[in-house]
Structure 1
Amino acid sequence: MKIIISLFIISLFTMKSFAQVDDAKSRAILDKVSAQTKTYSNMKFKFTYIMTDKKNKINDSLQGDIVMSGNKFNLNFMNRKIVSDGKTVWTYDPDAEEIQINVVKEDQDAFNPGKILTAYDKSFKTKLIKTITIAGIQYNIIDLYPKKGKSYFKIRVKVKAKAFRIVEAIIFNKDNVEYKYRVNQFVPNVKIPATYFTLDPKKYPKAEVVDLR
C-alpha cells in the first residue's frame, strides 16, 4: 500500500525546470506544460488508477480525486484521505479508524503529488516518442527516464497538445508491474476553504491519532 501511494506521488502535478533532456522537442512541450500549470491557483483532478501485473495476472482499477496548490494537496485514494499543507502530512484511514501524522520529507520519493501529472525536475531525461491523434485530438507521447536508481525505469506521459496538459502517466517498474494514472476530469482554480490543506483530528473523534513527527 505504502509503495503504491508513493508511486502515485511520484506522479501527479507542478512542473519544475528541465535539464539535460534527450531532445529539444520534448523540452519545449514540457516547458509549455509547466508554464500553463503555473497560471492556475490550484487544480482539481478526478483520476483512474490501473495496476497491471502480467506475470501474476493482476489488473486492478481504482478511482481517486485530488486538489493541489503548489506543494499542498488534498487526496482521496484507496479509501484514504491524505492531506498536506506542504510541511505536514495527515493520513486518515477510516477502516482502521486511525489518523497518522508525518513531516513532509524532502527526498525525491517522498509523498508529493506534484511530481507526475504536472511535475518533473532535472532528475529526469526526456524524449518525445511520437505524436498521435485520437478522435480528432492531438497528443504528444513523452518518455521520462530517471537519472538515479529507482524502482521504476521509465515514466510515459500523454500530453494534450493544444491544452499543454498531461492527461495520462504510466510508471514502468523494474519488476514488470505497470501503474497507470488517467485523468478523467480536470478543473482549475476551484473555490476551496483556507483550511482545505489541513486535517483536524477533532472532526474524527473515533480515530486514534498516531503522531510520528
Structure 2
Amino acid sequence: MKRILLLAILAGGVVTNGMAQSKGNLNSLGKNDPKAKAILDGVSKKFSQLKSVVANFVLKIEGANNSVTDAKKGTVYLKGAKYKVNLDGQEIISDNKTSWTYAKDANEVTINNVDPNSSTLSPAKLFTNFYDKDYLYRLDGEITEKGKVLQNIEMTPTDKSKNVFKVIVSIDKKNQNISKMKVFEKNGNHYTYEITSFTPNTNVSDATFSFDPKKYPGVEVVDLR
C-alpha cells in the first residue's frame, strides 16, 4: 500500500495522458466531458514533449474528518518510462525492466521485474494510454488558490470495486501543469499530492534509474525476480 501511495503522486500525469486519449467512455450520465478532455489534451501534449522532469511534492494524509494526520515531502525524477521516487526514507527506482524498492530504516532493497501488463499504478504508464478506459471524467469548475487559477477535473473509476472511488486533479490553467491531486478512498481517507516545484528538461543521468548496492553498505538484497 505504501508503495502505491509513493507512486500515486504521478497518477495525475498518468491519468491526464490516458484520459486525453480516451474515445469517450459512456456512463449513465453520458459521454466524458469534452471541456475536461480539451484541458487534458493540452497537459498531455505538453508533458509528452518533455525529455525529463524533476518535481518536488508534499503528500498530506487526511482522515475521514479532513484533519491532516501526516505530511511528507518527496521528489520524483522522470525520464521517459524510467523513474525514481524519494519519500520519507524510501526510494523506488525503475529502469522500465527492473524495479528496486529500498527501505532506509531496514537497509533492505527488494528487486522485481517490471510487468508491462500490470494494473499497478506506476510512472512507467505515464506515456501510454493505460487509463483510457479506467476512468470517467468531468470538469468540476475553477478555483483560485495561492494566486493560481486551477481547473479541477473529477475522475471516477469505471471499476467500482476499487478502493479509490474518486480522484480530483487540479490543473494550473496558465501553465498547463498538474498542480495537485486528491485521492478519495472508500474508508474515508484522503491523500493530497501537491507539487511544490516542477522542473522540466533537467540533466538527469540514466544512472539515476538504477540501484547501486555499493552506495548502500551492508544492504540486504531480496531478489524476487
Same fold, TM-score > 0.5, yes or no: yes
In structure 1, the partner of 2:221 is: 209
In structure 2, the partner of 1:107 is: 118
Q: Which amino acid aligns with 1:7?
A: L
In structure 2, the partner of 1:190 is: 202
In structure 2, the partner of 1:9 is: 7
Per the alignment, in what secondary structure is the counterpart of residue 25 of structure 1?
helix
Distance 1:113 1:175, change over 3 A: farther
In structure 2, the partner of 1:159 is: 171
Identity %: 32
Ranges in structure 1 where 5+ consecutive residues have no aligned partner: none
Per the alignment, in what secondary structure is the counterpart of residue 35 of structure 1?
helix
- CA contact 1:5–1:111 (8 Å) conserved in 2: no
Residues 127-161 of structure 1 deviation map (CA, whole Å, 9 limit, x = unaligned) = 00001233553210100111113111010011001
Distance 1:130 1:61 in 2: 27
Ranges in structure 2 where 5+ consecutive residues have no aligned partner: 25-30
Structure 2 length-normalised TM: 0.85
- Aligned structure 1 segments of 4 or more residues deviating by more than 6 angstroms: none
- CA contact 1:140–1:160 (8 Å) conserved in 2: yes
Distance 2:35 2:206 in 1: 39
Q: Which amino acid aligns with 2:178?
A: I
Match of 2:101 among 91, 110, 125: 91
Distance 1:24 1:56 in 2: 31
Question: 1:205, CA displacement in angstroms?
Answer: 2.8
Distance 1:63 1:181 in 2: 10
Residues 57-88 of structure 1 deviation map (CA, whole Å, 9 limit, x = unaligned) = 66110000011122210110121111100121
- 5 Å matches for 1:56-205? 59-105=69-115, 106-112=117-123, 120-134=131-145, 136-148=147-159, 149-205=161-217
Decide which structure has greater helix share.
Answer: 2
Aligned length: 208
Per the alignment, in what secondary structure is the counterpart of residue 133 of structure 2?
coil
Match of 1:48 among 58, 80, 84: 58
Structure 1 length-normalised TM: 0.89
Distance 2:211 2:106 in 1: 17
Per the alignment, in what secondary structure is the counterpart of residue 2 of structure 2?
helix
Q: C-alpha root-mean-square deviation of aligned residues, in Å? A: 2.1
Residues 163-185 of structure 1 deviation map (CA, whole Å, 9 limit, x = unaligned) = 11111000000101001100001
